[in-house]
């Protein structure tokens, strides 16, 4: 009987995914949830529809019902979507927490990285402290050498060079010297001048940043904690 109920629920979900009208989609996902109240696919899709209606609190309730089943960490779409909803509500630190959890499951996802970067910037602009950059521990084990190129955003490096927050860059940029500095940063990244071999935290092939202390690094690799030596 349980199997039959699940199969019927899946049929309503399939119908909802095919439907283009948002109201009809909501109707079909609702029918699926009547039969299978904890179905993660139906809950996630219902949450996204609620998000589009700007009903962010209700959307979060859907995502929480999923995450409670997966111990808050095993369902990537719900982690990501809850982060988006929290971001819309202006709860940036909470949103950052869920985006970082999502990134742990999908370390190469640039969209998630962009959200983390913008959330960190928003937190800094409000006087908060930037969270440590997430580095995937499975790919950064102590007995392995880090070889990935995951540099900070150019705007992050430029704010460091200008000794200001990212939010204040627009007040510092505009003169020729700053524009040249920004181009030099981009060129240094493209030419791999900016890499572990020129990072202030690297010494003799070993990283000394608090997040990755004692880890071996390739000289051409770069992570989001990178800061150039002798920064002016």
Query: What's the CATH number where 58 sits?
Result: 1.25.40.10
Same domain membership, residue 152 and residue 111: no
- Residue 102 sits in which domain range? 38-125
Question: Which residue reads 């009987």 in tokens?
Answer: 1
Q: How far apart are CA 66 and CA 78, in angstroms?
A: 7
What counts of helices (H) and strands (E) characterise the chain?
10, 4
State residue 16 phi and psi, 5-degree precision.
-65, -40
Same domain membership, residue 42 and residue 121: yes
- 9, part of any domain: no
Q: What is the pLDDT of residue 166?
A: 58
pTM (two decimals): 0.56
Per-residue pLDDT of the chain (232 residues; tens, 9 = 90+): 455 677 889 999 999 999 999 999 999 999 999 999 989 999 999 999 999 999 999 999 999 999 888 664 567 889 999 999 999 999 999 999 999 988 888 888 888 999 999 898 888 877 655 554 444 444 444 456 778 888 887 777 887 787 766 556 555 555 445 667 778 888 888 888 999 999 998 888 888 877 666 778 888 888 888 889 875 4
8-state DSSP, 228: B
- 18, part of any domain: no
8-state DSSP, 81: H
- 159, part of any domain: yes
């Amino acid at each position: 009987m349980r199997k039959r109920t699940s199969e019927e629920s899946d049929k309503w979900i399939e119908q909802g995914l095919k439907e283009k009208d948002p109201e009809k989609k909501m109707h079909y996902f609702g029918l699926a949830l009547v039969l299978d109240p904890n179905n993660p696919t139906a809950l996630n899709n219902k949450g996204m529809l609620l998000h589009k209606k700007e009903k962010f609190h209700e959307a979060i309730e859907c995502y929480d019902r999923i995450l409670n089943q997966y111990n808050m960490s095993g369902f990537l779409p719900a982690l990501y979507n809850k982060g988006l909803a929290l971001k819309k509500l202006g709860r940036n630190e909470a949103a950052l927490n869920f985006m970082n959890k999502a990134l742990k499951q999908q370390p190469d996802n640039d969209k998630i990285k962009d959200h983390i970067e913008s959330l960190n910037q928003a937190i800094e602009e409000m006087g908060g402290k930037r969270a440590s950059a997430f580095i995937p521990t499975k790919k950064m084990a102590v007995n392995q050498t880090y070889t990935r190129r995951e540099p900070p955003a150019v705007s992050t490096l430029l704010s460091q060079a200008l000794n200001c927050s990212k939010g204040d860059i627009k007040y510092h940029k505009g003169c020729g010297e700053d524009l040249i500095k920004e181009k030099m940063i981009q060129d240094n990244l493209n030419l791999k001048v900016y890499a572990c071999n020129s990072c202030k935290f690297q010494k003799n092939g070993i990283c000394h940043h608090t997040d990755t202390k004692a880890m071996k690094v390739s000289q051409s690799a770069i992570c989001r904690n990178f800061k150039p030596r002798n920064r002016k």
